[in-house]
């Protein structure tokens, strides 16, 4: 398994779909995952530590885990089948038992941002999907960031 971080939330210019880019912490490679618009909004809010007046689904998930005195240990992008990614959320219950819950990667990532849990990708999934990261060099990263949408522009896009 490889530890990763959410490096960017982008719009695919070919189909106007949101893409989350997961960067391997120990290599120069990254893995893109195309996601839905509502999940992209939730991830964008998590990245910018923003909030709505009322909780979104991922805020509710966080509150439920905490209300039950549990914690999210980690999320794992665990499988890739026919172009669809699968994830597992590992939860530690109040009694210490570890429970694994099947989830979509986009929901898992939005939750991980809210609770600060680590993100992992199964080696075989990463190797099948990885690309050379556009963030390998700091100057290239800054140029890339200059073209990213800010949260208000993103809201207009999906709004």
Share of the chain above pLDDT 90, in %: 52
* pLDDT of 5 higher than 50: yes
CA-to-CA distance for 7 and 22, rounded, in angstroms? 6
CA-to-CA distance for 19 and 152, rounded, in angstroms? 17
**Contact, 59 vs 41, CB < 8 A?**
no
**If you average pLDDT over residues 55-70, what whole number do you get?**
84
CA-to-CA distance for 103 and 157, rounded, in angstroms? 26
- 84 backbone dihedrals φ, ψ, rounded to 5°: -110, 130
pLDDT at residue number 41: 86
* pLDDT of 135 higher than 80: no
**If you average pLDDT over residues 8-20, what whole number do you get?**
89
Closest CA to 22 of 102, 93, 80, 90: 80
* pLDDT of 103 higher than 70: yes
This model's pTM is above 0.85: no
> Which class in CATH covers the domain with range 2-158?
alpha beta
């Amino acid at each position: 398994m490889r530890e990763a971080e959410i490096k960017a939330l982008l719009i695919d210019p070919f189909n106007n779909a949101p893409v989350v880019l997961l960067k391997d912490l120990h290599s120069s490679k990254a893995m893109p995952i195309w996601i839905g618009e509502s999940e992209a909004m939730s991830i964008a809010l998590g990245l910018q530590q923003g909030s709505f007046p009322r909780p979104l689904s991922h805020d509710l998930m966080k509150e439920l885990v905490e209300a039950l005195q549990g914690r999210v240990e980690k999320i794992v992008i665990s499988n890739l089948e026919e172009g669809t990614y699968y994830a597992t959320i590992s939860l530690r219950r109040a009694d210490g038992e570890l429970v694994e819950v099947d989830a979509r990667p986009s929901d898992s990532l939005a939750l991980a941002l809210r609770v600060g849990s680590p993100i992992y990708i199964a080696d075989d999934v990463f190797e099948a999907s990885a690309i050379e990261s556009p963030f390998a060099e700091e100057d290239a990263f800054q140029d890339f960031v200059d073209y990213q949408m800010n949260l208000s522009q993103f809201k207009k896009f999906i709004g």
